[in-house]
Structure 1
Amino acid sequence: MQSNQNRFKITVFKKSIFFLMLLIFPSLKSQAQTEVNSLKALLPYLDDDHVNVKLKSGVYTITAKDIQNGDFSSATVVKNRANVLFLFSGNNSVYDFTDVTINVSTEVLSAFPSKNEELYEMQIIGNKNILKNLTIADVGSVNNAPTRRATNIVMDGTNNRIEGFHITTKGSYPYGYGEAFGKGGKSVINHRKHSSFLVRGYKNHAKNCTIIHRAYGHAMFMQAADWPIIEGCYIEGTMRSTDDMWTEKGTGSDADKVNFKTVFGYNLPKGYMLCLGEEGIRAYNGGETIIDGKQYRRGTSNPTIINCTIKNMRAGVTLTHATGKKYVEGTTAIGCQRGFCIGTGDIVDCYADTQYGPALGVDYPNDEGMKAEITLLPYDGESYNGSGHAAIIIGKNHKIILRNAVQNADQNLKINIGGDNKTIGNLKKDENYSASNIVLHNFTNYPVVLDANSKNNTGVSVGIVTDEGFNNHIFKITKPD
């Protein structure tokens, strides 16, 4: 009898351990990996739970003819007004695209019959999924624009991770001018944008992805995202000088047709370098997301950016319009119109140059409490920084450390505290912003200029200090302590 009781206790104990392990290691419940050998064979698995699917290595191509044949027409989120080539709606699944390339013809961007819907090449609306190691490229002309808008990758749902993707984005209208003739809700030339990667949902994670961005639109941006993480990503755009844009005068180009009158209300100024896309990493204070089949409208909150590199974009990281905890660490902005701008929050151990624009910016005078530590980097070639800013700091109660990696800083570029906040153009209404109670430790030899609208600012500077404000105490030092 005692022996039977012992065996029963051992059996119960083993079962308890097994179920405990399933709770701790949910992967034990997953199925063995299934390999499929075509895109059509992949589609039925996209709404499944607990599957582990590998697409056979190789190069796959999606053309306008595939859309016309209806091969991808079933993947449509009607409520979201978007056509989706690949819609991942299952949960707890793994999709392995190692050694897979999917080429999407840029003609696909306008191939769907509806003219009022967006195109998403991939969208996740399920939860706890992993997509990894895909190369996806738009192939064709940069001028093959979407009918309305397009985005390569969209993350909704919760706790999803996209890892190791290599994305080449191409196809928008017009391409070649950046923001000069249209941004936000206004435009001189009607834009049809194409962005690369949109993070929404809850606790979604983009990791170790590469984006080669050759379209007008954002490279990586967040809308209606709560606790998103962007980690280890490399983003690269293309720059063009406004002087080069003026060589189109008399050619009948899009810019020539509007007489180079910009969206800012004045003729395109020379002497600036503009990204042909938009932000490298950007957060919005609005948007919609899908979680568990329901749509939510909200802003972006609590974004984390870690160990990313952004090159030749309109900005490296802009989080001004996000709320909650904003955190950027170990991230580098190279050759951007602006390096970092987060309004409030923490910038830790980050890097930026000043070749085409300021390393640091602040958007609004009510932005408060930013802590930033940025090393200013040298750059090859001449400066094309029409704004004249090495950094522009407005608002209040910021604590900023600028470290030095530049031997001979361009003395024409200033660290401005208060005053002019422009990065392109000459509108008077962009000037004379206030700055107060800011602590600046400038360990670079870029000069510091305290505007007449600055007051109660303190700190030290290796660069020379010009003080036109009130009760400021930023002292010139020879070298950092």
Structure 2
Amino acid sequence: MKSTILFIIVLPALLFVSFQDIYQMKRVEIQVSNLAELKDAVKSGNQNILMKPGNYIITELPEDERSIVCSGSNNTINLKDVYINFPVGTCKDAHFNFTGSNNKLSGGVFEDTYQNGMTKVTDFGSYNQNRKTLAKGLKGGANIRVSGNGNTIEGVKLTVRGSFPYGYGNMYGIGRGNATGLDKRCALLITGVGNTVDNCEFQHRAFGHVIYMQKNADKTLIKNSYIEGAVRPSNDTYKETNDGDLPKRFDYKMPLGQMKGLPIPRDVMFNLTEDGIRAYNIPGSVTVENCKVVKCRGGIKLYMAKGDVKVSNSTVLDCVVEGYSLNNGGELINCKGNAAYGPLLYMHFDKVSNQKIDLTVLPAPHAVGNHVFAAIKGRGHNITLKRANYKGQIDNTLRPIVVGYKARFEFLTTSYPGVPEGYGGNFNEYFGDKTYQASNISIRNETEYPVIIGDMSKNNSIESFGNITNLGENNTIEKILRKN
């Protein structure tokens, strides 16, 4: 009788104990003092692994054993006060590879270093000609891979270096059909379900994405993290005059795409990194909270995710191709950014719909280039653009917010709807071969940036403090006073 009563009392309590809690109860404490012990420990599961604080170098391991494969599950891997050096040219694969599930990597500073001691590339010509220990790239691309489910990467600082070509933005290609060959190096690839990145810092000094999602990625949460790439003035490429330097090899002209044959553009910025947070053709959802992305190609670029996309309390600064790009129904909530080196807002797909955008525009008096502020198309969006409480000049150019247009992205400039100066035959060949329609979109623009409602726009509602040019049909427009 007593045992029956005890069972009845205990059973409700057990209902509130998760399987993960049970695993936690069974975890054993493991202490490791070198990389070989760490590499061996993460093959097993249900452990609290604590590494001895100190500085380590991956070349402590044999050449073919320099990828730490975390195939065990339900581990906590504590690397607080641990620094691991990964010399460029000495690793063939990912630094950390999480194939197990429900693991937590906590802490750790991981740095790609150049074997000659260099920390910053200044001579891009010489750099790109050293394919062995500098412009090396990495097999599979990413320093950290997460293919398992329910893993957390927390409190990590990762510095990424070593890729080819480096220093020229997208000029020589970013995928198949490139002009020079590619050896990218990325930071963190997620392909599993329910993975989290929290309170991490990424210093990205290589051509490749920082955090990106592919394959089956779903329920990804990225929060409280800082991502910083690098940019370079395009004018500097004209200083590369040695025969082996890439700009000279291509006669200082653009080698690919709609810009092929045109001179390398002057007075713009080249991104030295790809996208800060990027989703490819994934089936699932992505949530980004309280993150900051600086000086990348694209900032937060999630237009290819098929699930729910929500970005909140995040900031994108000084990105080159675009700041934010969302999918159908994607949301920007209390986000910020500037358009210093490229558009802050861009919509990739012609039929993208029903985005909700709440965006505060930050000042960019250092801006360069002839890019627009935003390129808007699709239907059913609700967009609010607010100006930050800033008394100075928001930009040195009043860049247009273009709504519904007939031009390839490369030709969408401050000259719109006119022909950009110097684009000549390229513009005539490619202008108008795509129709980027905009309809039933509501925009409230509280900034001084002007709105150009292009000839592919109809049935939109535009309220704007900045000037409005209406080239479309059946659009409702209203000039407003700014709140601040």
The TM-score normalised by the length of structure 2 is 0.85
Supply the distance in 2 between the matched residues of 1:466 and 1:175 (Cα, whole angstroms). 40
Instruction: Give, in angstroms, the shift of residue 366 of structure 1.
Output: 1.3
Partner of 1:261: 254
Asked if 1:359 corresponds to 2:344, the answer is yes
- Aligned with residue 239 of structure 1, among 210, 228, 231: 231
Instruction: Give, in angstroms, the shift of residue 11 of structure 1.
Output: 4.3
Equivalence map 1:439-454=2 (5 Å): 439-454=442-457
- Structure 2: gaps (5+ residues): 122-133, 413-422
Q: 1:430 to 1:181 in 2, by over 3 A?
A: farther
Partner of 1:390: 373
Partner of 2:277: 281
Partner of 1:339: 323
Give the conservation status (yes or no) of the 8 Å contact 1:188–1:258.
Answer: no
Give the conservation status (yes or no) of the 8 Å contact 2:175–2:182.
Answer: no
Q: 1:34 to 1:424 in 2, by over 3 A?
A: farther
Partner of 2:141: 150
Partner of 2:209: 218
Asked if 1:349 corresponds to 2:362, the answer is no
Asked if 1:417 corresponds to 2:400, the answer is no
Deviations 1:230-253 (A, max 9, x none): 111100000012222222245530
Instruction: Give, in angstroms, the shift of residue 263 of structure 1.
Output: 2.5
Amino acid at match of 1:120: A
Q: 1:22 to 1:48 in 2, by over 3 A?
A: farther
Q: 1:147 to 1:356 in 2, by over 3 A?
A: closer
Partner of 1:120: 94
Give the conservation status (yes or no) of the 8 Å contact 2:79–2:105.
Answer: yes
Give the conservation status (yes or no) of the 8 Å contact 1:272–1:424.
Answer: no
Partner of 2:466: 463
Is the partner of 2:333 in helix, strand or coil?
strand
Q: 1:308 to 1:300 in 2, by over 3 A?
A: farther
Instruction: Give, in angstroms, the shift of residue 300 of structure 1.
Output: 4.1
- Aligned with residue 371 of structure 1, among 312, 336, 356: 356
Supply the distance in 2 between the matched residues of 1:347 and 1:421 (Cα, whole angstroms). 25
> What is the count of residue pairs matched by the alignment?
439
Asked if 1:36 corresponds to 2:32, the answer is yes
Partner of 2:76: 94
Give the conservation status (yes or no) of the 8 Å contact 1:283–1:300.
Answer: no
State, as a whole percentage, how many aligned pairs show the same letter. Answer: 29
Supply the distance in 1 between the matched residues of 2:138 and 2:221 (Cα, whole angstroms). 31
Partner of 1:229: 221
Supply the distance in 2 between the matched residues of 1:123 and 1:421 (Cα, whole angstroms). 39
- Structure 1: gaps (5+ residues): 74-84, 113-118, 286-298
Equivalence map 1:151-170=2 (5 Å): 151-170=142-161
Supply the distance in 2 between the matched residues of 1:423 and 1:41 (Cα, whole angstroms). 52
Deviations 1:188-239 (A, max 9, x none): 1111000011111111111111100000101111102111111111000000
Give the conservation status (yes or no) of the 8 Å contact 1:365–1:396.
Answer: no
Supply the distance in 1 between the matched residues of 2:27 and 2:13 (Cα, whole angstroms). 17
Supply the distance in 2 between the matched residues of 1:349 and 1:281 (Cα, whole angstroms). 18
Q: 1:424 to 1:238 in 2, by over 3 A?
A: farther
Supply the distance in 1 between the matched residues of 2:138 and 2:196 (Cα, whole angstroms). 29
Q: 1:93 to 1:147 in 2, by over 3 A?
A: closer
Supply the distance in 1 between the matched residues of 2:333 and 2:177 (Cα, whole angstroms). 35
